[in-house]
Amino acid sequence: MPATIVQTNSQPFAPAEIDPVTLDIIENALRNARVEMDATLVRTAMSPGIREQGDAFPLIADHNGKMIVGQFGSFIGGFLKQFDGTLEDGDMIFLSDPYSCEGAVSHSNDWLILLPVFKSGRLIAYTAMFGHQSDIGGKVVGSMPINARSIFEEGVRIPPVKIWRKGEYNEDLIKLVMHQTRKPDWCQADLNALIAACRVAARRVVEMADRFGDDVYVSATQELLARNHRAMKQLIAMAVAEEPVSFEDYICDDGMGYGPYKIKCTMWRDGDKVVLDFQGTDPQSSASINFYLNENMFKMFFGIYMIMVFDPQILFNDGFYDLIDVRIPAGSLLKPHFPAALSGRTHALGRIFDILGGLLGQKTPEFLNAAGFSSSPHLFYSGNDHRPGKGGEWFQLFQIGFGGIPGRPMGDGPDGHSLWPGFTNVPNEFLERYFPLMIERYETDPDSGGAGLHRGGNGIHMTYRFLSPGTISIHDDRWFVPPWGVNGGAPGKRARKILERADGSHCVIGNKVEDISVAVDDQLHFITWGGGGWGDPLARDPSLVGLEVLQGLVTVAGARAYGVVASEDGEIDAAATEALRHHMRSTRAPLSLFDYGPGVEALRSACEAETGLPAPIQPAWPELEAAQ
């Protein structure tokens, strides 16, 4: 049963004429209100994931629940369809269960606040925001157990409930929720922050409606949606062919020894509409790498990619949703059946963007980017601080790392930068001040970016020295299937993790591991993947390769991938370079549009030798019900 919206004023909004300047002012004011939501959140949140790194997503929607400003598109339609209750003035919804909102949030760590905004008895807007909680209880610190078999192991699960009901705060509910987490102080602060952000935006919406009139405000939101619809319609007709194109890529493993998992998407245009069909994607995993993908969210990803790739001037909102048809097979990795575990969904979420890039650029190689939006590497470190004077105080760190940005039509991919919007790294001095850590190394990993006319960005080599015993967990991907290069560019290097014990011994550890004990003075080398290269590496200016040798971004050995012979201090041997390039040109295979590396079977057989880890075993799906 869908939600019942209770309004004390049943008069519908009347359409109003909007002059372009008013429209412009309202759009800008809404954008600013969104920025204010972000600012309110980071100023008051406490978990480092939100306050330092910005892992949170705001949204302001119209009275029908369509996103006017925001990032990931609106889930409100889906929520309303499923919510069996009323929405009234003074209500505020709180939820975290992906299965209760069609995947609006994709794991239980994301807490979402939805505030219906009423004005003079009528629902005029929604504001909403969700943010990643550092801990929501469950079997592991950080609440993202890679080996979970069901969502019940992943901490507290909140169905849509009213945290405020007609203006009355439900204190018992919050007591119950906070009782489930290891970090009630962070969770309480972050929840307050989400609520404050939604309230700030609601206040701005009401002010705007006061200023321009309710009818003008609502009509303006409708015109903003229509404007976007018109622009996208044109763009789709121009950029998407009727003939289907497909693209597939892999999640390396599930952390349980199985992999890789295939994600496949086929795209074609049917009249005005684009169809995006995930038929051919592997079935769901019995571990937690499943990604419950919300169709509307994927429409937004698609729209934003189209805009960024083909015409960055277009402003985006939900207006174009009916131009896109997303089909995701039930029971697949992207639409698992309840109660499949979901906490490790970050890898598939990242991979979706590589797939989109590959799909959209296939027919227009000049717009094609290489791969690299590959994961969101996580590190968890927790324990009791046994340093003198710390009194055994409990600490837990959840940190998000970054890889390399892919080679792009416009040039090299930046080294060690974020592909996620608004994210920043945590200052190392902050880590050292508030955690028993010393960061011995924070540099880019030379040669990790794929060779190309435009080099892929290098990944990061970060070395943590632990100053107190504790446990660590790691979530990363792209350690087995490399990020592909395009237009002749080479793939980027793969991720790896090495534990260097205090006694000097080294051991390679997996990229999805739980609960590894570390001792004082153990060091973890957390090395992320590089972005794929773009264009023919032999066409890159040798002096630029030489400079990058001097800068420590490329090694002397790595320079040979560009056919460049250089000394340690970056001097180029012009004759040797010429000869090497000639030799490489005459012996190599013709350049292909995509360079995926040697292919899954070859990767498997060389896995142990190349990565130090056993090859993942091809998953089979007779025991799908294992998750039940």
Residues 118-157 that bind other proteins (CB under 8 A): none
* Rounded least distance, CB 424 to other proteins, Å: 4
* 513 is a contact residue toward other proteins (CB under 8 A): no
* 423 is a contact residue toward other proteins (CB under 8 A): yes
Q: Residue 211 contacts by C-beta under 8 Å, 6 or more apart in sequence? A: none
Q: Which two tokens stand for residue 311?
A: 């015409």
> Helix (H) and strand (E) counts for the chain?
13, 24
Most distant pair of Cα atoms in the chain: their distance: 83
Q: Which two tokens stand for residue 56?
A: 């949170």
Q: Are 113 and 164 in contact (CB under 8 A)?
A: no
- Binding to other proteins (CB under 8 A): which residues in 560-579? 570
Helix (H) or strand (E) holding 276: strand 273-277
**Helix locations, 404-537, DSSP H:** 428-434
Which residues in 564-584 are b (16+ Cβ under 10 Å) and which e? bbbeeebebeeeebeebbeee
**Closer of 195 and 518 to other proteins (Cβ):** 195
Candidate segments 37-45, 121-129, 174-182, 534-542, binder of other proteins by CB under 8 A: 37-45
* 516 is a contact residue toward other proteins (CB under 8 A): no
**Which stretches does DSSP call E strand in 296-385?**
324-327, 378-384
* Rounded least distance, CB 537 to other proteins, Å: 18
Cα 533 to the center of its chain, rounded Å: 21
- Binding to other proteins (CB under 8 A): which residues in 189-208? 189, 192-193, 195-196, 199-200, 204
* 410 is a contact residue toward other proteins (CB under 8 A): yes
* Rounded least distance, CB 186 to other proteins, Å: 7
Binding test (CB under 8 A) with other proteins, winner from 225, 333, 553, 554: 553
Binding test (CB under 8 A) with other proteins, winner from 58, 383, 416, 616: 416
Q: Which two tokens stand for residue 134?
A: 């550092």
Rounded Cα distance between 6 and 209, Å, is 20
Binding test (CB under 8 A) with other proteins, winner from 268, 338, 395, 442: 442
* 433 is a contact residue toward other proteins (CB under 8 A): yes
Binding test (CB under 8 A) with other proteins, winner from 299, 345, 347, 417: 417
Binding test (CB under 8 A) with other proteins, winner from 3, 18, 37, 45: 45
- Binding to other proteins (CB under 8 A): which residues in 449-508? 460, 463
* 430 is a contact residue toward other proteins (CB under 8 A): yes
Closest CA to 186 of 197, 176, 195, 178: 178
Q: Residue 60 contacts by C-beta under 8 Å, 6 or more apart in sequence? A: 30, 33, 34, 37, 67, 68, 69, 70, 125, 126, 127, 201, 205
Candidate segments 11-19, 174-182, 251-259, 434-442, binder of other proteins by CB under 8 A: 434-442
**Closer of 93 and 462 to other proteins (Cβ):** 462
**Closer of 6 and 438 to other proteins (Cβ):** 438
User: What DSSP designation does 152 have?
Assistant: G
Binding mask 340-359 toward other proteins (x if CB under 8 A, else -) reads -------------x------
Output the DSSP codes for 486-519. Answer: ETTPPPPPPPEEEEE-TTS-EEEE-SEEEEEEE-
**Closer of 419 and 615 to other proteins (Cβ):** 419
**Closer of 66 and 465 to other proteins (Cβ):** 465
Candidate segments 35-43, 342-350, 584-592, 597-605, binder of other proteins by CB under 8 A: 35-43
Q: Which two tokens stand for residue 521?
A: 């003075």
* 411 is a contact residue toward other proteins (CB under 8 A): yes
- Binding to other proteins (CB under 8 A): which residues in 256-315? 301, 304-305, 307-309, 312
